[in-house]
Amino acid sequence: MPAPEADVFDRLSALAAIEAPAERPRRTIAETFTGNSLGSVPVGTPADVTAAFDKARAAQQRWAARPVAERAAVLDRYRALVVEHREFLMDVVQAETGKARWAAQEEIMGLMFAARYFAKIAPSVLDTHRVAGAFPVLNRASVRYQPKGVVGVIAPWNYPLLLSIGDSIPALIAGNAVVVKPDSQTPFSTLAGAELLYRAGLPRELLAVVPGPGGVVGTAIVEDCDYLMFTGSSATGRTLAEQCGRRLIGFSAELGGKNPMIVAAGADLDKAAKAAVRACFSNAGQLCISIERLYVERQVAAAFTEKFVAAVHAAKLGAAYDYSADIGSLISEAQLETVSKHVADATSKGAKVLTGGKARPDLGPLFFEPTVLGEVTDEMECGRNETFGPLVSIYPVDSVEEAVRLANDTDYGLNASVWAASKSEGERIAARLHAGTVCVDEGYAPAWGTTGAPMGGMGISGVGRRHGPDGLLKFTEPQSIVVTRFMNLDAPKLFPKDKWQPFLMTVARSLRFLPGR
C-alpha cells in the first residue's frame, strides 16, 4: 500500500490558516520512508498568526456562549469521523513520521478516547456548582468556569495528530478557540485532524492551523495566546515557560523523559520481555513516555536479557502501510545522527551491543536497528540523557531497593514501568517512583489511555497535566460568585459596635462543628 496521492496533500495544505497562500514561500514535506516529496505547505508569518488570533477571538465569544452540551456534541461527532476515517489518518501519519502502523493506530485510539471522555465529563465538570459560603445562610457561594480565550498549541513531530488535535479537544470543549503550530516536519497530520473537526461542525475560525518555523510562528503564538500547551524538549519548555511567565499567562507542557522499567525477581519474564519491545521501541523510541532504562534484579537478569534480546532481534524493521512491520523509521537526519552518536560514544567507552547498533539504509534513508546495550555508565551520553530513539540500556541490580534508587536518580520524572511477582508488589514499587505515571505489568499505553486519570511529568518532565478533570479545567478560569443576603458584615443598628467583632469571631469558631467545615 503506497502513501496517499499528492492531491490529498494539496487539499490538506489549503486548510492552513495562511493569508494569500499562493504568494508565500512553501516548505516541501517528505515521505519519511523514502525521502520522496508528499507535497508542500505555505510557510506562516507573524502576520498570519495575528490574523488567526483576531478571527479566533471573535469566534470564541460566540462559541463560549453555546451550551456545553452543544460543544460536546461537536466533539462526539468528531470521534465518529475519526473512527470512520481511521485508515486515511493512519496513512497520513505514517507518511510524515515513518512510524509502524500499530504506532500510528495509537494516535487514532488516543483521539477517540480524548473526544469521548471530555465530551462525556464536560457538562458536569464545567457546570456551575455551589460551595459553602463563609457564613451559612448569610452567604450563598457558587463557582463557575470561564474559558481562557484563545489557547496556543505548539505540537511535536513524533505524535503529530494526537498531540495537536488531541490537546485542542479539551480546550475547545471548555469554550476556547485554538491556534495550533504543527511541527514543520509534520503539518499534514494536524491538518487532516482539523479537516474532520470542521466536518463535525466546528467553525473553522475556532481552530486555526498555522504551519511555520518555531522561532517565527511559535514565538508569535506565545506572544498572543491566553494559555499555552506545549509538547517537546525540556530545554525548549524552559524557554517557553519563561516567555509565558513574563506575560503572566498559564502554561502546560509535557517534556522529556528518561523512563525506567523495573523487572523484579518473580516477574513473568516472557511477558515482560515481549512487552518491553513495545515499551522501548514504539515509534522507533521517539516517544516521551517510552522506556530507555531497564533495571533487572540480578538473579533473573541473565534470563530476562536473553529473552528480551531475542524478542528485539526478532522484531521486524521495515516500511509498510500495513501491520506487517513491528518498528518503523526515525523521522529525520538529526534523529539518526543522535542515535548513531549515542551508540558510538557508549561503545567507545566500554558498553556492549547486545543486539542492533547499526543504521539500515537498505530499508530506507532513516532506519536504525532497535539497539540494546549492556554495561552502560553515567559517563556515556546515553547514560543520563534522553536519546529519543531505538536505544535502551539494561542494568542488573542487586535488589528492588537499588532499582528504585537508580530509577529515581534522574532529573526527569515522566513515566515508569514495573514488573513483579504480584500486582500488589508492583503497586508498592510503583508508589515509590518519582514519575507522573507508572504502569504495572505494561509499558506506557494503559496509563496514556486512561483518560480519567491525570497524565504528565514531575521534575523537568513537565508542568501541568493532560487528561482527567484537570486536563479540562486547566483551560478555564474559575470564578467564585458570593452573594450576601439579609445583612452584610457591618454591625446591626442595635448591636454594640465594640461587641460585634468578638461576636463574629465566636461565630467563625463555631463553624468548625458544621459538616464540611
CA 44 to CA 4: how far, in whole Å? Answer: 24
CB 53 within 8 A of CB 223: no
Catalytic residue check, 280: no
Give me the DSSP letters along 346-392: HHHTT-EEEE--SB-TTT-TT-B--EEEES--TTSHHHHS---SSEE
- Are the C-beta atoms of 467 and 450 separated by less than 8 Å? yes
Which cell goes with 340? 548513531
Question: How distant, in Å, are the alpha carbons of 26, 42, 483 from that of 22?
Answer: 9, 8, 56
- Residue 360: CB atoms within 10 Å: 15
Q: What is the 3-state secondary structure (H, E, C) of 435-478?
A: CCEEEECCCCHHHHHCCCCCECCCHHHEECCECHHHHHHCCEEE
Name the one residue in this structure whose C-alpha cell is 516541501. Answer: 28
HEC per residue, 442-454? CCCHHHHHCCCCC
β-strand 391-397 against 291-297: which pairing, if any?
A: parallel
Catalytic residue among 31, 195, 254, 386, which?
Answer: 254
Is the separation of the CB atoms in 457 and 433 below 8 Å? Answer: no
Q: Is 157 exposed, middle or buried (0-12, 13-18, 19+ CB in 10 A)?
A: buried
The enclosing H or E element of 230 equals strand 227-231
| d(C-alpha 136, C-alpha 511), whole Å | 9
375 is an active site residue:
no
Which residue among the candidates 225, 244, 288, 439 is catalytic per the annotation? 288
Residue positions annotated with a catalytic role: 254, 288
